[in-house]
């Protein structure tokens, strides 16, 4: 029973380290002061995406073809990148209009068809699905909190315009990678 929780938690945590989703969370956290709202949106998105994977098991990618998911993810990241670069040109850096919605949307779309979502579904076919979900949610929540606080820390030390330019470019690059792979 303990392995049903710990194995998915550890494996998903390691796989998610440095993943595009964590980079996106880090970059979003530099654009807002509403970190709790951002975290809430992120957790809900992970719960829906990975919860669906756990419920559907290994058949999750049959719901929507992976190629469509990658295109949607790529376009979303590019759109966030362009919007971030545009905001970098403004006099004052605007806060995200709705941190909850921004975090939710970006993470939900980024997580669809992601390796950790698919792995979550596969774990649910071998271990108790409830414990799998609890384990992966613990892991993803802890990693998201770390990404948000790292972004908060960095945003107080680096010029906001530079961060916006870097963030915009990173979002666009991730989007392009989605579209070409």
The 10s digit of each residue's pLDDT in 124-143 is 888 899 999 999 999 999 99
**Residue-level pLDDT, tens digit, the chain, 181 residues:** 889 999 999 988 888 887 888 888 998 898 888 999 999 999 999 999 999 888 876 565 566 666 776 787 788 778 878 877 776 666 544 455 688 998 999 898 888 777 788 788 888 888 899 999 999 999 999 999 999 999 889 888 888 778 778 878 887 887 888 788 7
| 3 state DSSP class of 129 | helix
The pTM assigned to this predicted structure is 0.76
Number of H helices, E strands in the chain: 8, 0
Measured in degrees and rounded to the nearest 5, phi and psi for residue 127 equal: -115, 175
Residues 143-174: tens digit of each pLDDT: 999 999 998 898 888 887 787 788 788 878 87
Longest dimension (CA), the chain: 55
């Amino acid at each position: 029973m303990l392995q049903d929780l710990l194995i998915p938690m550890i494996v998903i945590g390691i796989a998610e380290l440095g993943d595009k989703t964590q980079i996106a969370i880090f970059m979003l956290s530099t654009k807002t002061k509403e970190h709790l709202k951002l975290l809430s949106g992120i957790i809900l998105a992970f719960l829906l995406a990975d919860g669906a994977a756990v419920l559907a098991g290994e058949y999750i990618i049959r719901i929507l073809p992976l190629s469509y998911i990658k295109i949607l993810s790529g376009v979303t990241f590019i759109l966030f990148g362009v919007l971030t670069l545009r905001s970098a040109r403004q006099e004052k850096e605007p806060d995200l209009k709705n941190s909850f919605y921004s975090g939710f949307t970006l993470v939900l779309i980024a997580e669809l068809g992601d390796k950790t979502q698919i792995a979550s579904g596969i774990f649910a076919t071998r271990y108790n699905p409830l414990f799998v979900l609890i384990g992966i949610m613990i892991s993803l929540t802890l990693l998201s909190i770390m990404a948000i606080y790292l972004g908060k820390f960095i945003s107080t030390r680096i010029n906001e315009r530079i961060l916006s330019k870097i963030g915009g470019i990173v979002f666009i690059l991730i989007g392009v990678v989605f579209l070409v792979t």
